[in-house]
Amino acid sequence: MKRILLARPIGVQKWARTTSTVIRIPECVTQQTPAVSHDFPKRGTRFRLIDSVQFSSNKMILRLLAVLIPLLGPVSPLNILMYGPTLAHSHVTFMGKIADILIDGGHSVTILNAVLDPDVTTVGTPRAETIRFVGNSVDYPIFANLSSKTSEVFDVNRKGVNELPKITQMLTVLCKDFLNDAQLINALKVKKFDIGMTEFYEYCGDGLFELLGIEKQIMVSAFPMFEPTHRAFGLSSSPSYIPELFTPLSDSMTYKQRAINTLVSYKVDQLFESVMQEQSALFESFFQIKESLLSVRQRKTGAAFINADVNLEFAQPITHKIHYVGGLKPSSKLPLSSEFAAIVNKAKKGFVVFSFGTFAKSSTFPKEIRRNLLKAFAKFPDYEFIWRYQESSDESAEHHTPNVHSFSWLQQNDLLNHPKCKLFITHGGYNGILESVEAGVPSVSVPLLGDQPHNVAVLVARKISRFLGKENLNEEGMTEALKELLTDEPSVYHQNVKVVSQRMKHRLISPEEVILKTTEFVGLFGALEDWTLATVNHSFFKIYMLDIILPLFVLACFILIALFKLILIVIWKINNVLQAKSKSD
C-alpha cells in the first residue's frame, strides 16, 4: 500500500469520485477544456492540505499525477485592451466590472476611455491601467446641452431618439481626433495586446484593433440586444416580435405597434450603418484599411458579453458567440452606514429606495414634480423614503417632509438587499433593475430615455414592476402606484419578483465565470468560423428567401392569369353556344 498527501488550491471545493476512493480536485480540471487552459492556478498559488488517502496500485498514483502535474505548470496571462467612449457612467462601470473579473483571473487589462460625455469621470476600476483620451475637435457643449441632461427629459413630448444623430456624429469626430494622436497609437502598439474589447454602438474600436494587429476580439454591450448586435452576428432584427431597444413595446404587438417597430428598427439600422461607413472611411483615409469595419468585426469577434439577464429580456434568437452576463456582483457587500442604519431602524413598516441613476439627476426635476412627489411620500408616514438626490441650490429634497431623506450617494445594492426594503422607484436603468430584481424588490418604473422604455416594458410584461408614465409623475399618479404596491403588500408584484429573483440566484453558471472562461477560450481559439452564422455573408434577398419566393410568386401569378383567361374563354364559348341555341329556337 502506498500513501500520498493531497493538496488543492485554496477556494476549490469540487469533489471527483472514482471507483475506489474519493479525491478533491480543482474544478477547472473537470471541465472539457484544453490542457493549456488558463483556469489552472499560476505559480505561487497557495495550496491547502486536504487529506491523506491510500492507493492500492501504481495506476491510481499515475491518475493522480495526471491531475496534479498540469497545476504546477506556468500559465501565460492574456494582455487585453478595452476601448470604450464615456457614453454614460453605466457603460464605464460595466467595462470596469469585466476588467476586475479578468484581473482576478490573472490577466492584464488596459482600459482606453475616449471622453464623449465630460461629466462621466468614473473610473471603471482602479486595478486596471486606464488611459483617458480627450478629443481636440469634439464640441463637448453639444453633449452637455442634450435634453436628456436637463429638465426637458421629463417632457412628455420629448423624442430622445432624435438626438441619436448628434451623439453618433460626436463619436466620429472623437474617433478622428484619436487617429491623429500618433504618439498614443504607437504606445499602444508596443504593448502587443492579445484581445481587444469594445462596444457595439460604434466602430472606432474595431479599426483600432485592426491597426494594432489584434486578431482576437470580444464585443461588449452595456445595452441589451439591439440593431448593431444583430448586424454583427448575422441575426435578423425580426420587428414582428423583437421590440426595438428604443421603444416601449413588448414582444406581443398590435398591427399598429408592429408598423411603428418596423419603422424605428429601419431608422436605427440606417443610423448605425452611417456610423460604420463614416468610421470605415476614416481608417481607409488614415491607414489604407479598405475592409469595412463591420466586416472586420464579423471576422474577428469570438464572443459577445451582453449586459442582460435571460429572466429580464424578451426571448429572441442568439448564436453560440452571444452570452448574457447581466447581474455581475458588486465588488463587496458592506453593512449599512450609521446614517442609513438609523433611517432603516426607525421605519415602522419598511422603506423605499428612490434613484434615477447618474444620467437623469434628481436635481433637474421640475419644481412642480418635486413638490408633488414629496406630497405623495408624505401620505405614507409608516414608510421611510431614501432618495438619491443631487441637491440643487434653491430647494432640498426633504422640503420639511419628515419621512424623506436625501443623499447624493446611496449604498443602493446594500439597501435593496435589506429585508425591510419594500419598493424601488427607478428610471429603468439596467444596472438598477438587475440589482432590485435579484434582491426580490418590486419597483415603480418611470422610463425617461435610451433603453429605459424597453427595460421597463420587460418588467411590466413580467408583472414585477408598476409602470408610471411621465404624464402621471404627479401627486395622484405616484400616490396610486405606492398604494398599489405598499398598502396591498404582498402584491402580485412582490410575489412575481420573488420567483424571478430565485431564478436569477440559481443560474446554471455565474456571469463572472462565463466572462472569464469565454475570454480565455477566445484567447486560445479566436473567432471560430464554424460558430459564425452563414447569414453574415448572405444578401438581403437570400436571407429572406426572396430569390425563391419572388419567382414562385411570379409563377403563381402567371398560373392565376392563365386560369382566369381559360375561365373567360370557357364562359365565352358557353355563352356563344347558348346564344346560338336561342336563335335556332
Query: Distance (Å, rounded) from C-alpha 576 to C-alpha 363?
Result: 87
Nearest to 434 by CA among 359, 484, 503, 387: 503
Nearest to 250 by CA among 455, 418, 458, 108: 458
Q: Per the omega criterion (within 30 degrees of 0), is the bond before 165 cis?
A: no
Nearest to 425 by CA among 366, 377, 476: 377
Residues 6+ apart with CB under 8 A from 482: 352, 376, 377, 379, 380, 423, 444
> What's the pLDDT at 43?
40
* Spans of the chain, pLDDT less than 70: 1-75, 160, 330-332, 359-363, 391-399, 489, 585
Q: Specify whether the CB–CB gap between 120 and 92 falls below 8 A.
A: yes
Q: Specify whether the CB–CB gap between 453 and 246 falls below 8 A.
A: yes
CATH topology of domain 338-506: Rossmann fold (3.40.50)
> What's the pLDDT at 395?
52
> What's the pLDDT at 484?
92
* Per-residue cell: 433: 433593475
> What's the pLDDT at 13?
42
Summary mean pLDDT of the chain: 84
Cell 408583472 locates to 463
Helices within 418-474 (DSSP H only): 430-438, 452-461
Q: Specify whether the CB–CB gap between 217 and 209 falls below 8 A.
A: yes
> What's the pLDDT at 63?
54
Q: Specify whether the CB–CB gap between 128 and 99 falls below 8 A.
A: yes
Which CATH code fits 79-328+528-535?
A: 3.40.50.2000
> What's the pLDDT at 508?
85
Long-range Cβ contact pairs of 502-510 (< 8 A, separation 24 or more)? 503/311, 504/309, 504/311, 504/327, 504/437, 504/438, 505/438, 507/327
234 Ramachandran zone, left/alpha/beta (phi>0; psi -120 to 50)? left
Amino acid at 220: V
Backbone angles phi, psi at 576, to 5 degrees: -65, -40
Backbone angles phi, psi at 465, to 5 degrees: -145, 145
Query: Distance (Å, rounded) from C-alpha 228 to C-alpha 219?
Result: 11
What are the structural domain ranges in the chain?
Answer: 79-328+528-535, 338-506, 543-577
**Would you call 326 helix, strand, or coil by DSSP?**
coil
Q: Specify whether the CB–CB gap between 115 and 137 falls below 8 A.
A: no
* Per-residue cell: 514: 462565463
Query: Distance (Å, rounded) from C-alpha 439 to C-alpha 434?
Result: 8
> What's the pLDDT at 379?
94
* Per-residue cell: 554: 411570379
Query: Distance (Å, rounded) from C-alpha 13 to C-alpha 296?
Result: 42
**Around Cβ 306, how many Cβ atoms within 10 Å?**
23
Query: Distance (Å, rounded) from C-alpha 516 to C-alpha 31?
Result: 14
| DSSP conformation class of 53 | E
* Per-residue cell: 256: 399598429
Which of 76-112 are b and which e, b meaning 16 or more Cβ less than 10 Å from the residue's Cβ? ebbbbbbbbbbbbbbbbbbbbbbbbbbbebbbbbbbb
Residues in the chain, total: 585
Task: Give me the torsion for CA of 527, 529, 533, 535, rounded to 10°.
Answer: 110
> What's the pLDDT at 332?
60
> What's the pLDDT at 399?
60
Backbone angles phi, psi at 109, to 5 degrees: -130, 130
β-pairing, 22-24 vs 15-17, is antiparallel
Model confidence pTM above 0.85? no
